Structure 1
Amino acid sequence: MSQFPHRILFAADGSVESDLALHHTVDLLGHTSAELHVVHVGLVSAWTNPDAMNRDQRERLRAASQVVLDEQVAKFEAAQMTPTQSYLRMGRATDEILRLRDEIGADLIVLGSRGLNAFKRVLLGNDAEGVVRHAPCPVLVVRKDK
């Protein structure tokens, strides 16, 4: 059994840390023939209830989220790594990343982490921490050097 992943799920949020994680993913893909799946989850705020938004607000959020996803896919393509598929999800990032991981059977999740301090993590939640705690597969979390 190979220790290299066969299906990688890259969770993009458009941040500097996400770009660093993208570069690590490109390096990893250079050593394996794994499939690459890219996801961006719009509506990442735990404080925003999508049901309270009107249709125009939801569409603007979806359009802005699609731009982030398209930019991340373009960065992979510029590195000669064409994703197998890309996904736009709306909801809580941790839930949607884990749900998609189950749907596609990814055996590695890669994402960036902003390295929030304990207070911010309690107040806002931390998507990377939630994914690490609940993912049934390895998770590569890339942080920016301080």
Structure 2
Amino acid sequence: MPDFDLLNQHGESVRRSDLLGAPAFVVFYPHAFTPVCAGELDQLADAAPALGIRILAVSTDPQPTLAAWHVQQPRPFDLLADYWPHGGFAQACDAFDDVTGAARRVSLAVDASGAVRARIETASGQARPLGWYEEWARRL
């Protein structure tokens, strides 16, 4: 997985090196405050304890937007701002839509060494299936 250093909803820096030693899901989504994205992240928030894997939700929204969204809809995982350089991490992960300027609906299953073991992408407006996360939580 490419290196990254992004701010979360609390203004704290989260880096690739923070993930090493345990598996994680990196979940790219287009925008905060939108229905499909909110529904997906709410579903992941409910499933997070059973999955037992760190979740990083990444959008191209600025950090203050993610902070406001977190106040309105708190979730038990990091919301990361891939704002500047705009979409740089999403681009490095082939998860950026050049037409809309936002992340695409791409999720990565990352093992404890930081290697991407699996990837899923769904069409715009289509939620990713929770079963994919459940399956990869068992495999990782």
More strand by share: 2
- Bigger radius of gyration, 1 or 2? 1
Give the TM-score of the pair, scaled to structure 2.
Answer: 0.43
Give the TM-score of the pair, scaled to structure 1.
Answer: 0.42
Relative contact order, CA 8 A, sep 6+: which one is greater?
A: 1
More helix by share: 1
